[in-house]
Copies of this chain bind each other. A is one copy, B any other.
Amino acid sequence: MSAPAIEAVSATPALSFRARHRLGAFTLDLAFDAAPGVTALFGRSGAGKTTAAQALAGLLRPDHGRIALSGQVLFDSETGVFLPPHRRRIGYVFQEGRLFPHLSVRRNLLFSQRFSARRSGDAASFERIVALLGLAPLLERRPGALSGGEQQRVAIGRALLSRPALLVMDEPLASLDQARKAEILPYLEGLRDEIGLPILYVSHSLEEVSRLATTLIAMERGRAIRVGPAETLLADPSLFPLFGRREAGVMLEGRVAADPPDEALRDEGLTAIETGGGLLYLARTDLAPGATLRLRVRAQDVMIASAPVEGLSALNQLQATVAAIGEGGGAMVEVALLCGDQRLLARITKRSLRRLGLSPGAPCVAILKAAALGRRDVQATS
């Protein structure tokens, strides 16, 4: 089995996955260990994400391999172990709803209740999830009479309410509107951070992945081309073509400043973050002082100045030195900066590069707007 170089993953993997399976001309040949948290499968259409997810859930029995979830072996072609899907306690949000047409939305949501008290969602969480997904008006309806997005929401709720040991979500938010996504994503973060529920997350949206993923698996033609911690891979230029240049960037580690540099800050709805590279200002105030967090900074949101700039609306200006200058055709170049111990990526025109006379080692100032650091780019760590 082709196990790609696996970059530093926590000692005891929450999920250890090795599977080879042929489907006609396609062959899934995937091996990875995932840290606790959200493992994102990322790859182009037809890469094998759903196939992998189904192998994990036991909906498909691989020709070869071994799958273990936090110690328990779910499948092993050697020993012939194959735990049937209904004993795996893996909740699955299917790419296509797969709701039960003969049951009302309510009964769809409560379907799993019948099976073992431990799994059944209690009233509280039922109300909570119905509210989260805006299903209240739909409870007595039949899936056949729901809109695409409504069906998707019911499917999500059904899986969440089954109180799974692991959650598989196959493009769960694809057909939902921005506002709804903005409501659901924090909830998923909650599952990840508070309950510590492991999630296998399939998505084409780098926004979702970069926000949720702990481990990222980049797939291509059934194989993992890269497996590793999300922040590492998301900052890896060699993967930018897969992500789309727009989203390329780095993750900054930081902590909310205990004592704000100036008192006006809070009133103006800003929070100061101490990073290895200096202070950054976020346009939000709901972060507890001292809390550590990860900031996603897109290369294209970073500007470079030769010296600190006065009278500019961009608040965040960090002293930096040019670490490296990427090459490649086109008008743009990625410039790697070092702000203290933090790497930053900036995407600028070659013209600016020339004008500013930037070269490795040269001191400069990295400028980024608070506006560019949206809510979705910030995630709490612990």
Does A300 contact B175, Cβ atoms closer than 8 Å? no
Q: A314 contacts the other chain (Cβ, under 8 Å)?
A: yes
In the complex, the 8 A-B pairs of residues with the closest C-beta atoms, listed nearest first = A45-B149, A269-B331, A306-B311, A283-B331, A313-B352, A178-B244, A300-B371, A313-B348
Does B349 contact A270, Cβ atoms closer than 8 Å? yes
Q: A25 contacts the other chain (Cβ, under 8 Å)?
A: yes
Known: A148-B45, A177-B45, A179-B244. A313 touches B307 (CB 8 A): no
CB neighbours (8 Å) of A95 from chain B are 148, 175
Does B304 contact A313, Cβ atoms closer than 8 Å? yes
A199-213 to B contact mask, C-beta < 8 Å, 1/0:
000001010000000
Chain A residues within 8 Å of B, Cβ to Cβ: 23-25, 43-46, 50, 95-96, 137, 141, 145, 147-150, 152-153, 170-171, 174-180, 182, 204, 206, 241-247, 264, 268-270, 281, 283-285, 299-301, 303-307, 309, 311-315, 329-332, 346-356, 367, 369-372, 374, 376
Contact of A179 among B44, B147, B176, B331 (CB under 8 A): B44
Interface of A is mostly: mixed
Contact of A178 among B174, B206, B348, B374 (CB under 8 A): B206
How many identical subunits does the complex contain? 2
Contact of A315 among B141, B145, B351, B376 (CB under 8 A): B351
Best-buried of A137, A148, A179, A301 by chain B (most CB within 10 Å): A148
Does B268 contact A370, Cβ atoms closer than 8 Å? no
| Closest residue on chain B to residue A24 by CB atoms | B145
Given contacts A45-B147, A45-B180, 5 further A-B contacts (CB under 8 A): A23-B145, A148-B170, A246-B376, A284-B331, A313-B356
CA distance A95 to B147 in the complex (A): 10
| Closest residue on chain B to residue A202 by CB atoms | B148
Contact of A312 among B300, B309, B330, B376 (CB under 8 A): B309
Does A25 contact B206, Cβ atoms closer than 8 Å? no
Contact of A46 among B149, B285, B303, B376 (CB under 8 A): B149
Known: A269-B330, A331-B270. A352 touches B315 (CB 8 A): yes
Does B356 contact A311, Cβ atoms closer than 8 Å? yes
CA distance A174 to B151 in the complex (A): 15
CB neighbours (8 Å) of A354 from chain B are 268
